[in-house]
Structure 1
C-alpha cells in the first residue's frame, strides 16, 4: 500500500459481518510491520506515558486481541494469528528478551490483562491450545500475578476479574475469592437506572468508562461468559444494560457520531462498543431499541463515521494515531501510549457471533430518536447531570456537576464545559497566553489580568437539574468559584419548542474583582470553502433579524463554514440597563478543537467592574446549525426565532 492509496479501512462500507471482518483484518495487517521478532511487543510510536516503555509496547500487543479473539471465536480466520501466539510465549517467558515483566501494584500491565482473559475465554483453541506446556504455564503464572496486588478503586478492578475469568476457562489456577470480592466491590459503584460511577462514593465520573469503555461493556461480556457459574449476578448485569441503553442512545446522532465527553477520547469507536456487547450477550433492550436492526445501526454507523475520517485518524502506515479526529496529543492523557487507541477494537466483539445471529441477519435500522418524532427531543439524565438534546440534526448535551477525581490533563475541558456537541466536539487549551490558546468554547471564562490567563469551571459547589414543566423546565443549575471571593451561578436551558437551534445560558457573577468575561458558543471548522481563513462575519450579522418587536436586544457573534453555523447573542433584558457585550469571532490556536484542526469560536466579551457592580447578570443565546449546505436565508430564518426564558428563570432575573 503506497502513501497515495487509501487504507482499506477508510473505504470499507461497513454494512455487513464480512465488511466488519475485512475492516478488522485491514487494521491488523498494518500492525505486522511494527511487531517485534518474538511477537510480544509492538512499538507504534515514540511518545511517552507515565508508565514504562515495555508496558506501552505491551499495550500494542494486547489491545488488538479484542478483535483477534472475537474474529476467531466467530469462526473467522486470520493469517497473522501466529504473531500473537508467539507473543504470548515470549512475553510471559522470564528468560525471553521480550518478557513483559511481572506486574506490580497499580501497574499498567494489569490493564492489558483484560483482553487476554477475554481471549482465553472465547478463543481457547486458537490461542491457549497452541502455546504448549511451557507457554501455558508461563501465561498462567503471569496472569495470576495480578491477584493480591494493589489496584485503583475504579473500573480497573474489572481487569482482574477478566484475568481470573480467563484462567478459570482454561482450567488454570485462579483466585475464586479475589474474583468474587472484586465483583462485589464493583457492584457498590452502581447508582441505579443502569448507571454506575467510575469509583466509590464521592467520585462523580459518569462518562464512557461507565458504559462502552469499561463498566457496562465488562458487565455484558461477563454476563455471557459466567452465566452458568454466577447466574443471579449475570441477570442483574443484563437488566442494568437494558435500562442504561435507553439513556445511552441519547449520546449518538443520526450519522453515528458520539458526543465526545470525558477522558480517553482517543479510544474512538470503543465509544460505541456497548451496542456490540449487547449483541454478544444476547441482550435486547426495551422499546424503542427492541430490534436488532436498531442496535446494529448504532454500532456500525459509528464505525462508518470513523472510517469516513480517512487518513486523518491513521498514520501513513495504517496505524491508529493518538488523537481524536486527527493526530494530536493536546487532548489526550498521560496514560495514552501509541498502542492505546486499539482499545477501539472492543467494537469488534460482535464478530464472535455466528452469521445467523439476528444482530447480523436483521437489516440495519436508523437511530430511533430521529425515526420517531413522538419521542421527547430533550431529556434530563439525573445520574450524569446531563440534559440531552436531539431537537435537530445537532445532537449535544448540557452538563453540570462532573469532574475527574484526580488532576487530569485538561480535566476542566473534558468534564466542566457547559455543552458538548457530537458534530462540533470541543476545544482544549494549547498554551497559557490569551483567549485563543485558552480556547474556552462552550463555556464561560474569567480573566483578572486583562485577558492573559483565563479560569473556567472545573469543580462545582452545587449542581442540580431543576424546573417543572409548568415553569418551563427542566434546566441545569450549577455554582462554582474561580476564586475564593468570586462565585458564578449558571442556569442552562435546552432548546424549546419553536426555537430548536437555540439553547440559553443565564449567569450570575458575584465578585469584587475587575474581570474580563468570555461567554463562548461552539467552536467549529474555521476555514471557508476556498480553504482560507473565514472572512469577517459582519455581513452575515447585518442580514440577520434579531429584533423582538422593534427592539434589538444586544450584540452577537456568528460564523458559518462547511461544518455549519455557530453563534451567540446577548439577550440581557433592557430593564437590567447593562451595556450589551461585544461579539467576537475568534480563531483558536491550531489543533485546539478535537474534531477540527483549524477552528474558530463565537464569543461575547464583557468587562465586570467588581467595585461598581458586585453582582452582574448575563443572558446568552447559543445558536447552532449542522451541515455544509446551509444557506444564508436558512440561517436568518432560524436566528430570528429568538428563544424565550422559562418563567422560573425570568422570575430570578426580575428578583422574584
Structure 2
C-alpha cells in the first residue's frame, strides 16, 4: 500500500491526513478487484477458511463489505463495477435472505452503500434491476434476526426501501420493531448490551450506535437524532479512552479481525456533531488506529486484509469469520463523508485522553475500570461486568489491555482447584479508583473480587468462598509481551508463586500487579503496601500516603474514603 509522506505539521502524532485515508481506501479497493466472480456479484478472497455460513455467503460478504468502502470513498469507477455486480447478484447469484442467515447482515451494508451513493449508482440502474434488487432486499424486512445487534439490519434495509418507496408499510414496521428491540438493551451512560445479558464490547460502537444514528441522519429525523445522538456522545466519552497511545484498540471482545472498524463511532460523532471530542482529538484517535494496523501487517503483500489482528491470527476468529469478514473494517472510512475542508480534516491533531494524563476512570454501565498511563501510553481495562461465555477468553478475563492478548495459560484469572472458569459475573459496584464483582468458579466456589488502581499499579483482592478447605487457589496477572513489563507479587494469602489454599469459610488472597512500559519502575512493594486487618478486611496504602480501607464479604465489597 502506497501512502503519502507523513505530515508532521498538521498531524504531529500520526503524520496521517485525509490523503492517507484516501490512499488507504484506494489501495484496499484496488487489491480486491481481481477476486470478483460471477459478474462481480461475489468476491472470493484467497485462503482455505470458510465460515459456517458457507462459500456462497462468504462471496456475498466480499461484495457487501467492499461496496461499503467504495460508497464511503464515493469512487465512481469502483461503484460502476459494483453496479454490475448488483445486477448479476439479484438475477439469481446471491443467496436469499432468510431467518438468522448471514445474508441479512450483508444486506444492511448493501443498503447503506446504495443509500449513500443513490445518484451515482441506484438512480442509474435499469428499472428491472432496481425492482429485483428491492425485492431481494425486501426479504430482510420480515427475516428473523438473532436477538442482538442483528435486530438493526432490518432497520437499515427498511430505511433504504422506505426512501425509494418499496413496501413502505413493511419497511416502517421493520424499522419500528428493530428500534424498539434495542431499547431493551440500552443500560444508560451511552452503553448497550449486545442482546440479553451483559455483553459489552466494540459492537456498541460499530453496530449498536452506528446503525440507529445513521438511520436518524439519513432520515433527517430530529427526534431520533437527539435520542441516539445523546447516547453516542455519552458513549464516546468512555470509548475514546479505550485506545492506547500507539493507536491500538483494546484487545477485548469478539470480531477483533474488523480491526480499525473501531474508529467508526469516532467519525460518526464528527459527522453528526454529537461528540465530546475536538476535531483534532477525533482525527488523532482514528488515524492512530489505522496507522497501528497498517504498520503491523494487517494488509498482506497482495494488499488484502487478513483474518487476524496484526497479521493472520486464528486466535481472534469466530465460526462466522470468513475470508471477507475483515472488510467490515470498511466502516472506518465513514470519515471520508466529511468534506476535505471540514475541521476534522483541517485541525491540528491533539493528544488523545491517554496522552494527556494518567487516569483511572470508572465506567458504570459495564462495571469497568479503565486505567491508563501517559508515560507509556498503555490502557488497561478491568472487567467486572462483561460476560459472554461463548467467546471466552475475550470476555471472561479480569483484565485486558491495548498491548496484550488473552493467553492460553489463563492470564488475569483466579483458578480455584484446577478450574479457571469465570461465569455468572455479578457487578458489585465501582468508584474512584476501584471496581468489584463476584463470579462463580470451580467446584461450586464463589469469588468476590475488587481491584484498586493508581498509576500503573493494581491491588487485586479475591475472597474465595464455598470451596472445600485445602482447595488450591492460583492468581495470575498479565501475560508477558515483548516491550512491556508484566509483574505480580503476593501480598496476602499467597506464596511467591501466587498460589495458596482455602481455609474454613471465606479465604482472602491479594496480589500486587503491574503492566508497564517503563524500563525501571519503582518496586511494587514500595509503590503500595497492603495490610490484612481481619477476615476480608484490608488497608491499602499508596506510596503518596493515601490510605484506602477495603472490606470483602458475602454481602459484597465496600471501599472506604481515602484518608
Q: TM-score, normalised by structure 2?
A: 0.87
Unaligned runs of 5+ in 2: 7-13, 531-538, 541-546, 559-563
Say which SS state the counterpart of residue 96 (structure 2) adopts: coil
In structure 2, the residue matched to 1:377 is 359
1:502 corresponds to 2:457: yes
In structure 2, the residue matched to 1:296 is 283
In structure 2, the residue matched to 1:189 is 185
| Alpha carbons 1:504, 1:643 under 8 Å: kept | no
In structure 2, the residue matched to 1:55 is 57
Deviations 1:489-521 (A, max 9, x none): 2111122xxxx2210111122311654433222
Q: Residue 247 of structure 1: CA displacement?
A: 1.6
| Alpha carbons 2:70, 2:78 under 8 Å: kept | no
User: Closer, same or farther in 2 for the Cα pair 1:492/1:145, shift >3 Å?
Assistant: same
Deviations 1:340-385 (A, max 9, x none): 11111101011122112222122221114533x4xx7111111011
Q: Residue 65 of structure 1: CA displacement?
A: 2.4
Say which SS state the counterpart of residue 509 (structure 2) adopts: strand
Alignment equivalent of 1:176, drawn from 172, 179, 194: 172
In structure 1, the residue matched to 2:229 is 238
| Equivalent residues in 2 for 1:419-438, closer than 5 Å | 419-427=399-407, 429=408
Say which SS state the counterpart of residue 283 (structure 2) adopts: helix
1:275 corresponds to 2:266: yes
CA RMSD of aligned residues (A): 2.5
| Alpha carbons 2:32, 2:304 under 8 Å: kept | yes
User: Closer, same or farther in 2 for the Cα pair 1:625/1:643, shift >3 Å?
Assistant: farther
Q: Residue 266 of structure 1: CA displacement?
A: 0.9
Alignment equivalent of 1:459, drawn from 405, 414, 424: 424
Say which SS state the counterpart of residue 459 (structure 1) adopts: strand
Say which SS state the counterpart of residue 396 (structure 1) adopts: strand
Say which SS state the counterpart of residue 369 (structure 2) adopts: strand
Determine the C-alpha separation between the residues in 1 that align with 2:128 and 2:504: 77
Determine the C-alpha separation between the residues in 1 that align with 2:113 and 2:52: 27
| Equivalent residues in 2 for 1:39-54, closer than 5 Å | 39-44=40-45, 45-54=47-56
Alignment equivalent of 1:624, drawn from 496, 515, 530: 515
| Alpha carbons 1:412, 1:457 under 8 Å: kept | no
Determine the C-alpha separation between the residues in 1 that align with 2:109 and 2:249: 24
Alignment equivalent of 1:91, drawn from 65, 89, 92: 89
Alignment equivalent of 1:444, drawn from 405, 408, 414: 414
Say which SS state the counterpart of residue 25 (structure 2) adopts: helix
Deviations 1:22-46 (A, max 9, x none): 1011011111222114111111232
In structure 2, the residue matched to 1:137 is 131
1:334 corresponds to 2:308: no
In structure 2, the residue matched to 1:153 is 147
User: Closer, same or farther in 2 for the Cα pair 1:621/1:292, shift >3 Å?
Assistant: same
Unaligned runs of 5+ in 1: 1-6, 430-438, 449-453, 468-472, 526-560, 573-577, 584-603
Determine the C-alpha separation between the residues in 1 that align with 2:359 and 2:475: 25
In structure 2, the residue matched to 1:556 is none
Say which SS state the counterpart of residue 95 (structure 2) adopts: coil
| Equivalent residues in 2 for 1:384-395, closer than 5 Å | 384-392=366-374, 393-395=377-379
| Equivalent residues in 2 for 1:458-607, closer than 5 Å | 458-460=423-425, 462-466=426-430, 473-495=432-454, 500-510=455-465, 511-512=467-468, 515-525=471-481, 561=482, 563-572=483-492, 580-583=494-497, 604=498, 606-607=499-500
Deviations 1:44-82 (A, max 9, x none): 23212221221111111111222210111xxxx354333
In structure 1, the residue matched to 2:328 is 343
In structure 1, the residue matched to 2:240 is 249
| Alpha carbons 2:453, 2:459 under 8 Å: kept | yes
User: Closer, same or farther in 2 for the Cα pair 1:106/1:80, shift >3 Å?
Assistant: same
Determine the C-alpha separation between the residues in 1 that align with 2:550 and 2:194: 37
User: Closer, same or farther in 2 for the Cα pair 1:128/1:278, shift >3 Å?
Assistant: same
Alignment equivalent of 2:210, drawn from 217, 223, 240: 217
Q: Residue 273 of structure 1: CA displacement?
A: 1.1
| Alpha carbons 1:266, 1:323 under 8 Å: kept | yes
